[in-house]
Structure 1
Amino acid sequence: MDSLQFDRLLSARMKRRSLIIGAGALAGLAIASQKPSRVIATPRFTDYPFSLGVASGDPLPTSVVLWTRLAPDPLNGGGMIPNPVPIQWQVATDAPMRQVVQRGTAMATPELAHSVRVVVEGLQPDRWYWYQFQVGKEISPIGRTRTAPALGDRLARLRFAFASCQDWQNGYYTAYKHLAEEDLDLVLHLGDYIYEYGPEAGKPRQHNGPEIVSLEDYRNRHALYKTDPNLQAAHANFPWIVTWDDHEVDNNYADAIPEDDQSQQAFLSRRANAYRAYYEHMPLRPTAFPKGPDLQFYRRFAFGDLLEFNVLDTRQYRTDQPCGDELKPRCPEAFATQATLTGLKQEQWLYRNLTRSRSRWNVLAQQVMLAQFDFDPRPTSELFNMDQWDGYVAARQRLFQFLQNRQPSNPVVLTGDIHSSWVHDLKADFNNPNSATLGTEFVGTSITSDFPQAFIAPVTAALPANLHTKFFDGAFRGYVRCEVTPQQWQTDFRVVSTILAPEATVSTLASFVVQDGQPGAQRI
């Protein structure tokens, strides 16, 4: 049965004039290669079905993606009947949901864990909307989202925050409580949304079950994280643009190569499960639907004439970490011309975007630290992180050569992964402090994931040997707030007083600005 036949059949059953079927649901049904189960229009739930909240994402000038998942028993497979369930949705221009501008019905199917994504088209650029879901008599929380400005429109200001690395076990998500209260237009998540590990003794919170491998494992782990009320609040208040790093699948994996001794076949099966569950739990467009262990995820977002995000994927296509991975001196493999974090196709896509861009600020939103950093302060020895761009020197040099030759306007790199805060000048030659500064990198700390206390002093001791590094802090957790205008970019490192208790205060640890046309950050 093709999608048109299915749509007609479902429309006849529901007797509605305007029934909208989620593209993700159709994709799931097609993959299952089964006839659709009987639609349950008014299911009975054992508990509140919107236990994982609501979210929106991938904002464009006239459309945005809305997301929810029916899960009355979220940590045990969801607790839903194995039938499709229609979910009503509506979008309004006011918070009380009185000025409804669009409404419809999406289908939550068991093939996608009863998650839905609604691509709402025909919206006005650069404005706030509110949205809500309903199934039977159960009503979801109200979410708020915002469309991007029209392409080329003059934009006076964009405010956003970026975050990463939210190990559930390591602490509480109080940073998200404060992030949800910020005056922002969107949130950018740079990876490690979940962690795959089993329970660890002595932690403030515990993972639900052993290290995750199966599709149900990954679904339950995503559900655990999404039960957090502070994370739900941050999702409900702003549209999100997301990308992943390694822990959404397996620590430090590289393409089809796992960290441990799994067979490639077993790992690709695990990766397929992880990618499927990630898609089911994120407000992604249906074009991101995974094909087995593959999911085309890198993409671009433009905000008027002010800023473009190039959202990268540095895990799915990378070659194996050189020199045996970890922190060590670089071996010849680290300089190999064929080594890559992005793969050739994504690398060329990025260069095309930067060449064509007419935006004032051009952002690379990615996972691992781009700047060089020698962790050994002694002049006769060296230590580099092989999982970062320091293990892929030729690939970084190609990027820097492109930036030097083509000179896209104001390159800024936003990075997660390392659970600490950094600011770097991106130098044409990191070993020559007098070489040209090509751009700026802001590295955000984690929401909760640990940066070992014992590492702080050695990194601090190495700072004088890395003159391009303007700032480092490993003690605090939090997020990064950015305010961008045509004249300048301001970055505020926002940190919480503790992650070991549900309540914590927030403060600004440090602030930096980059002036238009003057690469390099200055502390204010």
Structure 2
Amino acid sequence: MSNFRVSRRAALAGALLARPGFVFGQGGAPALISSDALRPRAQWGASAGDVSADRAIIWSRADRLSRMQVEWSTSDIFRDAQRVLGPHATEATDFTGKVDLSGLPPDQEIFYRVTFKDPSGVAAEPVNGRFRTVPVSRRDVKFLWSGDTTGQGWGIDESRGGMMTYDAMRRTGADFFIHCGDTIYADSVVAGEIHYPDGSLSRQLVTPEKAKVAESLAEYRGAHRYNLMDRNVRAFHAEVAQMWMWDDHEVVNNWSDSKDLTANAAYHEKRIGALRANATRAFLDYAPLRTNPDEAERVYRRVSYGPHLDLFMLDMRSYRGPNTYNRQEAAGAETAFLGEAQLRWLKNGLQASRATWKVIAADMPIGLQVPDGKDSQGRPVFEAVANGDGPALGRELEMAELLSSIRAGNIRNVVWLTADVHYTAAHHYHPERAKFRDFAPFWEFVSGPLWAGGFGPNALDDTFGPEVVWQKAPGTDNAAPGENTQFFGEVQIAGESGDMTVLLRNMSGTSLWERRFTPAGG
């Protein structure tokens, strides 16, 4: 359906990137040197992120002090290439670098190559990638979403093909991918050997940083590098533009400012603030994300993708109050989830949007109960919005305010996409089934994990009237990736009609459920 076109040369490159033994991104060397040991290396690949009609972030990493340079062209042989000198890659950013390309032509396939040159002038082999800029007129658009990479001890086993969900996503030819969070599992240790339920042994790649929980800045950065050791991940990043969010596992499981690690023997550093500081720095080093001039560490943002689509990517982690019993009757600091500033930004952005579809990408689902142990009184503590059946209480008060504003503003065609719960589902919310009824019906689609243990399904909360229209979950905890319990979602928007088709796919790319939606009139 998408108008995304793959040239024969580019398609061949993609096939090579995914092939075992292929060294990612190596092409013609800019300079002849006597030993590869003297040459900088960029073996972690490259990615394009936060693409607009005329801009894109290009990310890559070297292995030593060097300077980043990006060349780009609308030709896959780099005819009339433009060259942009980027930042120095130093220890301060773990040798990562980002270049914000500007002046790009809209709705064009852009080919780029990244080179790092050390202080003596010796250059790394170039790392190649491509993406398509955002259309300014109506055309078909295809994008993907999911979350949760390298969780519950499931890592890279090259003999089993590595993280194969990424290869299935690459083969869709999508315009871009939304990572809804848990881009790493900083709190999950990867063992060298792990048994599948059938008794077979999986031998996984292990690095020093993934042999323990992440606490130091170096360990958090190492968790991000670990994922880039997988050839499927690198090839996917090179061909599909990225839009990253984050959730809890970038720091520690179910974190908020009130997280108490006192009894957790795995952590020597008990201060959640210190862990958050290190994790945030590492995430921003490795995410192909454009920083905000008003708030340098802000993750939530809006991306307009042509006349039919506005994306609102949320941060349900940074501004939340503590995880509690979550049944407060009045709004306050404890009931914050998006936080006042982000909630205001989202309401204003939705009201101002003139796109056919307003897609809200969220860290967590609205109507599924996500438990987080018990409080001192033995009551259940909740990690997400839901807190058991209605009325609207606790964090649900903030969600009720948002949903009411959407209805009052007559804002049509709002769709929610999320991950987090490690299974896939289609949920329909309707006031006729709800305890809180001041909202318009809407859909929420859940899909994940990308490469982690399978879980679920979770219990519903009736406050906003969710109905499970379809779901697929393993029914057991920490189901192995090899049991085909990995999922991603796909959205196709027809340029001519504006119709939206949502598909929920498994790790091989097979469509398990799909439905076409016609946009409501203004």
Matches within 5 A, 1:50-449: 50-71=42-63, 80=64, 84-134=65-115, 135=117, 136-150=122-136, 154-167=137-150, 169-170=153-154, 172-196=162-186, 197-200=188-191, 202=194, 204=202, 205=204, 206=206, 208-254=210-256, 256-258=257-259, 260-261=261-262, 266-287=271-292, 295-323=297-325, 332-333=327-328, 335-338=329-332, 339-371=335-367, 386-391=382-387, 392-428=395-431, 430-431=433-434, 437-449=440-452
Match of 1:21 in 2: none
**Is 1:191–1:367's contact at 8 Å kept on the other side of the alignment?**
yes
1:473 maps to 472
| Distance across 1 between alignment mates of 2:466 and 2:224 | 40
Match of 2:19 in 1: none
Shift of 1:149: 2.5
Q: Does the 8 A contact of 1:427 with 1:433 survive in 2? A: no
Q: For residue 506 of structure 2, what is the aligned residue in structure 1? A: 495
| Deviation string, structure 1 residues 148-192 (Cα, Å, up to 9, x no partner) | 224xxx323211011200125325410101111112111111000
Structure 2 vs 1, CA of residues 198 and 467 (structure 1 numbering), >3 Å: closer, same or farther? closer
CA drift at 1:139: 1.8
Aligned match of 2:376 = none
Deviations 1:483-523 (A, max 9, x none): 01343211111102xxxxxxxx431111122221189xxxx
Residues 1:469 and 1:436: Cα distance change in structure 2 (over 3 Å):
farther
Q: CA deviation at 1:450?
A: 1.6
Contact kept? 1:318, 1:342, Cα under 8 Å = yes
**Closer, same or farther: CA 125–231 of 1 in aligned 2, 3 Å:** same
Q: Distance in 1 between matches of 2:515 and 2:99?
A: 38
Structure 1 CA distance for aligned equivalents of residues 114 and 336 of structure 2? 43
SS in 2 for 1:390: coil
The 1:288/1:213 distance shift into structure 2, 3 A limit, reads farther
TM-score (norm 1): 0.75
Cα separation, 2, equivalents of 1:180 and 1:395 = 37
**Post-superposition shift, 1:341?**
1.1
Gaps of 5+ in 1: 1-41, 72-79, 324-330, 376-382, 497-504, 520-524
SS at match of 1:322: coil
Query: 1:53 Cα deviation (Å)?
Result: 0.5
From the superposition, tell whether residues 336 and 435 of structure 1 become closer, same or farther in structure 2 (CA, over 3 Å). closer
For 1:470, what is the secondary structure of its paired residue?
strand
- Evaluate the alpha carbon distance shift between residue 258 and residue 373 of structure 1 in structure 2; reply closer, same or farther with a 3 A threshold: closer
Structure with more of its chain in helix, by fraction: 1
- Aligned residue for 2:194, secondary structure, equals coil
State the percentage of identical aligned residues: 21
Aligned AA (2:43)? S
Question: In structure 2, do the counterparts of structure 1 residues 384 and 407 end up closer, same or farther at CA, with 3 Å as the change threshold?
Answer: farther
- Would you say the 8 A contact 1:403–1:438 is kept in 2? no
- 90-99 or 118-127, which moves further after superposition? 90-99
**SS of residue in 1 equivalent to 2:425:** strand
Give the Cα–Cα distance (whole angstroms) in 2 for the partners of residues 400 and 248 of structure 1.
Answer: 28
2:18 is matched with none
* 8 A contact 1:480–1:493 mirrored in 2: yes
Q: How big is the shift at 1:95? A: 2.0
Does 1:483 pair with 2:497?
Answer: no
Describe the SS at the equivalent of 1:468: strand
Is the alpha carbon distance of 1:423 and 1:489 closer, same or farther for their aligned partners in structure 2, counting shifts above 3 Å? same
Cα displacement (A) at 1:425:
1.4
- Provide closer, same or farther for how the CA distance between residues 137 and 269 of structure 1 changes in structure 2, counting only shifts above 3 A: same
How far did residue 199 of structure 1 move? 3.5
* Counterparts of 1:374 and 1:101, CA distance in 2: 49
**Preserved contact between residue 52 and residue 232 of structure 1 (Cα < 8 Å):** yes
- Call closer, same or farther: CA 1:250–1:308 in 2, change over 3 Å: same
**1:420 & 1:258 partners in 2: Cα distance?**
26
SS of aligned partner of 1:139: coil
- Counterpart CA distance in 2 for 1:231 and 1:105 is 24
Contact 1:288/1:296 (<8 A) preserved: no
1:288 and 1:297 in contact (8 A); partners too: no
Partners of 1:404 and 1:512 in 2: CA distance = 24
Which stretch of the first structure deviates more once superposed, 356-365 or 194-203?
194-203
Give the direction of change, closer, same or farther, for the CA distance of 1:468–1:69 in structure 2 (3 Å limit): same
User: Does the residue aligned with 1:506 lie in a helix, a strand or coil?
Assistant: coil
Q: Using a 3 Å threshold, how does the CA distance of structure 1 residues 123 and 467 change in structure 2: closer, same or farther? A: closer
Q: CA deviation at 1:281?
A: 0.8
- Per the TM alignment, residue 114 of structure 1 is displaced from its structure 2 partner at its CA by 1.2
Rate the CA distance shift 1:131–1:472 in 2: closer, same or farther, 3 A.
same
How many residue pairs get aligned? The number is 432
- The 2-side partners of 1:472 and 1:156 are apart by 31
When normalised by structure 2's length, the TM-score is 0.76
Q: Is the 8 A contact 2:370 2:383 kept in 1?
A: no
Cross-structure match for 2:480: none
Alpha-carbon separation, structure 2, partners of 1:297 and 1:515:
31
Structure 2 CA distance for aligned equivalents of residues 370 and 467 of structure 1: 9
Contact 1:372 1:430 in 2 (8 A): no
CA displacement 1:443-476 (0-9 Å, x = unmatched): 1121122224xx55x869x99x976221111133
How well do the aligned residues superpose, as a CA RMSD in angstroms?
3.1
